Amino acid sequence: MGQWDDKFERAERRWAEWTMHEYAQTDRVIGRILEDKARRHPQHEVFRFRDRTISFEELNALSNRAANGFRALGIGADDKVALMLSNRVEFLFAWFGLNRIGAVCVPINVALKGDGLAYQIDHADCIALVAEPAYAEPLGAIADRLPKLRHAIVVDGRTSPPLAGWPGREALHFDELMSRAETSPGVSVDFRQLSTISYTSGTTGRSKGVLISHHYWYEIWAQAVKYARYTDEDVLYTGLPFFHTSAHGTTGPALLAGAQAVFVERFSASRMLDDCRRWNCTSAKFIGGMLSILMKQTPSPRDADNPLRLMVGAAAPPHVWHAFEQRFSTRLLELYGMTECSSCLVNPYEDRRAGACGKAITGYDVRLVDDLDNEVSCGQTGELVVRPQRPYLGTTGYYKDPDATLDLFRNLWIHTGDLAKQDDDGYFHYVDRKKQALRRRGENISSFEVEAVINAHPAVLESCVVGVPSELGEDDVKAVIVLRSGGQLTEVELIRWCEPRLAYFAIPRYVVFRACLPKTPSERVEKYRLRTEGVTADCWDRERAGIVISR
């Protein structure tokens, strides 16, 4: 790594002498942390959205404006508000403002449409929605299915878009919400109160709303500072979307460490390194597919000429690991977790191992168990189960879903639904998903929900959706379809059927029509057989056919 060794050596020296200010348990409330940071370091620029920077003082003041604006609408403690926003600063003002008054933020995946979109907003009991005009069409299409929604708040600082067709009996612009006082709303919030309901992708059925308290967010952020060794000299970069909890592995650590977080609209392989050079970013978030995409870029003499000392994320392809570090003069730090137990496994900073998703070093006990919840021997495959070592670490369950919550905490351990092995040195190695789920380029996909859309087509008798290996890592979506007697449907017609009903990333890449599906004597589809066969000769490939889908 030659001349770039300095960036690692300096980081090591800084970490050795630096101490993060810790908050007492009862002070681990987002609003109190913002106020404290604004008092201690008012002019520190904690967030950057390209050319716009936000200081602690401004963040605190504008979060107070949002809080007072929500209060003026009658929104208060425990009320739920959906945020359907891209990576823009208004998301943070709204989230932090809601939390200031004890209200709850419900981030919505901006690619959702139809049933999935209506379900999450209504199931969460949202009484208000903050969204961009870009999502007016899918929201308008479900407006009559959101009876609890009272307010629609439109975020657009440049124009005054028409509000006709938007859900909600009352509508206003975000600027109006932000016209209130910058003084604290004066609401007392407990560290155990709910901050966020984050919906899963629905791995075995309907999406579930994971409950995240103020204290759990603090634990996620504080542990990230420690395992990645962030200090006030770091600049953290992400293009992951704000509706994913993983994006806030950048937001929160920057807050606590007094670092800076740089947010861009989305990941771009062609722009990422230039972005990091422009803003002197020292760390970036990744998901596995991103590393493969970066490696497929045309090599450049400038690849190693970047300030990144660390890239933090999950699912790094083992065969890419060392070549990536060498080419881009950085270090990969892999972890494993899910929203219910974030980063329960992390590779130790000083002893990272390619192909491993880490050790239990962040406050969790982790075991591997068989189908009867008995612990398996070292080297054997088992389901990852997790138990917090500290109070109020991890989720308390799923919103309005007691059965799923009980199943999650079966025998007092969080059951992840993922399979892994553990080696003699205590490192866990991911094996496969136990649940019938897919993951495509960082997005979790429910086969259940994709099948429901396909099966709704008049010509379809039944279908099965599985994941097949992608050349970029993770999965591509394959749909195996049985038509009704006399039914007619082409592959392109199927894609066009899915477009208005599914998020773009969930639309199948591969389609194959069969006379029947393989089934057990009890009539259950044997998905493993279709998954194992992979991409067969009779599969139609949407990408090879040049079919473009809308986003």
Q: Report which secondary-structure segment, H or E, holds 462.
A: strand 460-469
In this prediction, residue 1 has a pLDDT band, given cuts at 50, 70 and 90, of very low
Residue 201 corresponds to which amino acid? Answer: S
Among 84-98, 191-205, 523-537, which range has the highest average pLDDT? 84-98
Is the pLDDT score of 162 beyond 60? no
- Give me the pLDDT at residue 449, please: 77
Tens-digit pLDDT profile for residues 49-83: 999 999 999 999 999 999 999 999 999 999 999 99
Q: Report which secondary-structure segment, H or E, holds 439.
A: strand 437-440
Is the pLDDT score of 86 beyond 80? yes
CA neighbor of 33 nearest in space, from 49, 66, 56: 56
Structural domains of the chain in order of their starting residue, each with its CATH number: 61-213 (3.40.50.980), 360-435 (2.30.38.10), 439-545 (3.30.300.30)
Higher pLDDT, 525 or 404: 404
| Overall average pLDDT of the 353-381 stretch | 94
- Give me the pLDDT at residue 381, please: 87
| Overall average pLDDT of the 269-295 stretch | 91
- Give me the pLDDT at residue 291, please: 87
Residues of the chain above pLDDT 90, percent:
71
- Give me the pLDDT at residue 2, please: 44
Lowest mean pLDDT: which of 459-463, 513-517, 535-539?
459-463
Q: Which residues lie below 8 Å from residue 512, measured CB to CB, with a gap of 6+?
A: 478, 479, 480, 481, 536, 538, 539, 540
**The token pair that represents 28 in the structure block:** 């681990």
- Let me know: does 363 contact 227? Beta carbons within 8 Å: no
CA dihedral of residues 294, 295, 301, 303 (deg, nearest 10): 50
Is the pLDDT score of 327 beyond 90? yes
Q: How far apart are CA 293 and CA 1, in angstroms?
A: 22
- Give me the pLDDT at residue 205, please: 58
pTM metric for this prediction: 0.84
| Overall average pLDDT of the 285-303 stretch | 86
- Give me the pLDDT at residue 292, please: 78
| Overall average pLDDT of the 244-270 stretch | 94
Higher pLDDT, 11 or 191: 191
Alpha helix stretches (DSSP H) within 356-446: 402-408
**The token pair that represents 276 in the structure block:** 């990091």
